[in-house]
Amino acid sequence: MRDRVIRDEIHKDIFVPASHAIIIDTREFQRLRSIQQLSTCEYVFPAANHNRFSHSLGAYHLAGMLISSLNEVQPNLVSNDDSELIQLAALLHDIGHPPFSHLLETPEVFATYHSHEHWGRVLLESKETEIGTALLEVLGQQRRDRLFAIMDGDSEHEGINIPPFMKEIVSSQLDVDRMDYMVRDQANTGAQIGGFDIARVIRALRVNKDGHFFVKSWGLPAIEAYLVTRYHMYHQVYFHKVNMLTQNYLVRMLSRARTLAQEGTLKLSSPLENMLLNSSLDARGYAALNDSHIRVALPEWAEHDDQILAHYAMRLLSRRDFHKSLRIEGLSTEMVDVVLPRLSELVEAAGYNSSIDVITARISKRGYMPYEQGILIEDGRDAADHSPLVRSLTQPNERALIFVPDSIRDELEINVREWVKPSQSSLTQFE
């Protein structure tokens, strides 16, 4: 097998040596082509149908760039052996994602539920998977186990030190995973939010005497741009109300399909049966699952006699009759708990089924976390100590959404405003 160059929409040419191509060409890694990066976000941004495969290659490429930059300014910081392992850690960080990425990483869907990190390790360690075999072939067991130690954030492996920055390259508040997905997601959604300069961020990074990353003072504006981009991507893209709604549709649909299959009124394909009913799913069975198995079922489920299953499947299939969110600012989960019983009564009185026509979603995002794996500047202080802009991003974002049928939304809004906060009864209408 030859070395290859892969052309990427974000980073242009990505060089892949032949030994790494062996890993990339396994069935389990190629499966990531069929795992959508942003789950149902394409219902809002039609071009947001990029996949975990391209993102993983992007993170791999950036890890190589970052290591080269570090070795240039701090010679011999990373050995060739560890450089390869760090790049492979970045390449393989998403190998265990379920269909539709984080969205279906829930026991509501999987009868055998584990986190994607757990499944990733199962796939990489297994002697029954192509990628497990390839990893051993390329690295040998000792180096493969050191790769796992780096991915786990261990401080050493077999007596050989692993400085914390090696893990931080792949997983931290300023890692190659986030750098790639924010730029890639912004490009594919078309979100116009400014962006940040990856190359400048990388050039500004150094490793201190304790083995942790820090940023040169001149790099602070690039860090500010990075954190502002992250803030806006969450608010404008990842937490978009239609994205939150369609995620609910998909999870509720699959949960209903599981119930019907258990009752014997819905026949599932073999892959979906493994996902929804198999409580002893193994590595090969998990690695056989991808987005297409769910997409193929949608037309049949949209015509099913079960009202609940058809209700969700038809909306995902046609993008018609979507529920609408109540336009109430500052709605908290506590408020939702209080109003939900009364709201459900009104929905039922209007002739709807509250169990399927009242949908709630909770948005919870921790802000930038100084001092807790924060971003250090070269004087040892956190970026938040240097920048009022970064400091303003430390507040967590927690709120709730309630979705109801469009035809009764206006009426329900009036009632809910009176229940939660009388002063909101005159709130300006907006979409």
pLDDT (average), residues 330-354: 93
Say what the pLDDT of residue 372 is.
66
The rounded distance, in Å, linking the Cα atoms of 249 and 405 is 14
**Between β-strands 397-404 and 156-157, what pairing exists: parallel, antiparallel or unpaired?**
unpaired
Burial classification of residue 341, based on how many CB atoms lie within 10 Å of its CB (0-12 exposed, 13-18 middle, 19 or more buried): exposed
Say what the pLDDT of residue 430 is.
36
Say what the pLDDT of residue 313 is.
98
Q: In this structure, how many other beta carbons lie within 10 angstroms of the beta carbon of residue 207?
A: 19
Looking at 125-139, 347-361, 365-379, which range is the least confident one?
Answer: 365-379
* Count helices and strands in the chain by DSSP H and E runs: 20, 9
How far is residue 116 CA from its own chain's centroid? 10
Question: Is residue 266 pLDDT above 60, yes or no?
Answer: yes
Q: Which domains does the chain have, with CATH numbers?
A: 4-238 (1.10.3210.10), 242-365+398-426 (1.20.1250.30)
The rounded distance, in Å, linking the Cα atoms of 241 and 259 is 27
If DSSP codes are grouped into helix, strand and coil, which group holds residue 336? helix
User: pLDDT for 223-245, tens place per residue?
Assistant: 999 999 999 999 999 999 999 99
pLDDT band (50, 70, 90) for residue 422: low
The rounded distance, in Å, linking the Cα atoms of 271 and 254 is 13
Question: Is residue 427 pLDDT above 50, yes or no?
Answer: no
Say what the pLDDT of residue 333 is.
87
* Amino acid at site 190: G
346 neighbors 412 (Cβ within 8 angstroms): yes
Copy the structure tokens of residue 100. Answer: 């539709």
Percent helix, percent strand, percent coil in the chain, to nearest 5:
55, 10, 35
Question: Is residue 8 pLDDT above 70, yes or no?
Answer: yes
The rounded distance, in Å, linking the Cα atoms of 183 and 229 is 9
CA distances from 87 to 132, 290, 311 (A): 17, 25, 45
184 neighbors 37 (Cβ within 8 angstroms): yes
pLDDT (average), residues 308-322: 95
The model's pTM is 0.94
pLDDT band (50, 70, 90) for residue 428: very low
